[in-house]
Amino acid sequence: MTAQITTLGELLTSAGTQWRAYDIGRRITKIDKKQFAQIETTQVPYPYPLAGHALLAIQFWDNQATQDPYVWFLKLPLDEQSKLVAASRDHFASMVIDALGTQLTGEAAQGKLDNNLYVYAPNANKLAAFNALLKTELKRPASQYYEYAELYFAQKLGLDQWQNLAVQGLADFAMRLEHGSNRDNLKACWSHLPAQVQSPLAAMLEHVAIGVELTEHLLSGLKTAVESEDLAASINYLRALSGSHSLGLIAEAVDTILDSSLAAQADLQLTITGRCWETLTDSLRLIKLMDCAAHNTEVDGLFESIFADLVAIPTLRPHVLALLRTENRSETLSRAIGRLFKR
């Protein structure tokens, strides 16, 4: 069996399972099977690298399945071109075959990969968001915590009654914004939410492709937060709208921050880098961000880590490398770039 299997896709298919792959490193993003096959055969780089790795969730189920699907959370190394290190993928596949044979599902398979070198545990927020997404995609009921969250955001309990909100309930609510009045209820109460709710909810919303109307609403709130130099609220607004398909509005949000005094804040620079990276194909916006990072003296190695993060993203790599040649840059940015080559 091993001789014919060269990819995880083939392994899953040959075991008789249906499967789906997601990136869960930056934002929970479905990877279609054709693209996944190209990634596995190193025809294309991994689109969403994070710290030199592909963080993947592979969901699979057998054709007779009535129970919830199985999920592998994998952390696979990438090379300097952000391509999958095939030897590590092969190693994982051989470990799976050794442990499970062709029987990837069922009770006998449970727990056998728990100590696998490539299996990792996502943080609680990411796990809750992923669980909530799967339930909506499989048209399964939300968790037991959803009802309380729905009532809370409908302001039927009082916004001070947040102590009983569960992270999973927030995730279920975020993934079900289009159900009933959820979206309108969120718009009505967002700016009044306690920080203890707004922050974790923003961490869920960044995985949701929110509509134009809600994006515009959050952008308007972001501008107010930036004007009043409210760092925490600005980060929450930016995270909450960063998953939107309205890239122009996200770009406007990033520009609002970069043109303000808050641009000097490392936490906002990192939020832009980690969640709004698609807007940085614009060379002026990229230079502005990198210039802010170069001027930051409070966080050691900030410029270098942002540079390393962005240059690894295939869609940004040419733009980041072009930055090394641009003449239109400050002395501080030039010095920071110079330091990259002395390491």
Is 261 a residue whose pLDDT tops 50?
A: yes
Average pLDDT (172-182) is 96
Q: How confident is the model at residue 311 (pLDDT cuts 50, 70, 90)?
A: very high
Average pLDDT (295-307) is 93
- Mean pLDDT comparison of 106-115, 211-220, 327-336, highest-scoring range: 211-220
Average pLDDT (44-66) is 88
Average pLDDT (89-98) is 82
User: What angle, 0 to 180 degrees and rounded to 10, lies between the N-to-C axes of helices 283-295 and 266-275?
Assistant: 150
Q: How confident is the model at residue 96 (pLDDT cuts 50, 70, 90)?
A: confident
For 1-30, what is each residue's pLDDT tens digit?
A: 444 667 888 888 888 888 999 999 999 999
Alpha helices in 145-265 (DSSP H): 146-153, 167-175, 182-189, 195-205, 212-227, 231-241, 247-258
Average pLDDT (176-182) is 95
Is 114 a residue whose pLDDT tops 90?
A: no
Q: How confident is the model at residue 130 (pLDDT cuts 50, 70, 90)?
A: very high
Give, in order, the Cα–Cα distances in Å from 254 to each of 71, 234, 285.
34, 10, 8
Beta strands in the chain (DSSP E): 17-23, 29-31, 53-62, 70-77
Is 93 a residue whose pLDDT tops 60?
A: yes
Percentage of the chain beyond pLDDT 70 is 92
Find out whether 46 and 82 touch, Cβ atoms under 8 Å: yes
Is 246 a residue whose pLDDT tops 60?
A: yes
Task: Return the residue matching tokens 């733009």.
Answer: 319
Order of strands, sheet of 17-23, starting from the edge strand that comes earlier in the sequence:
29-31, 17-23, 53-62, 70-77
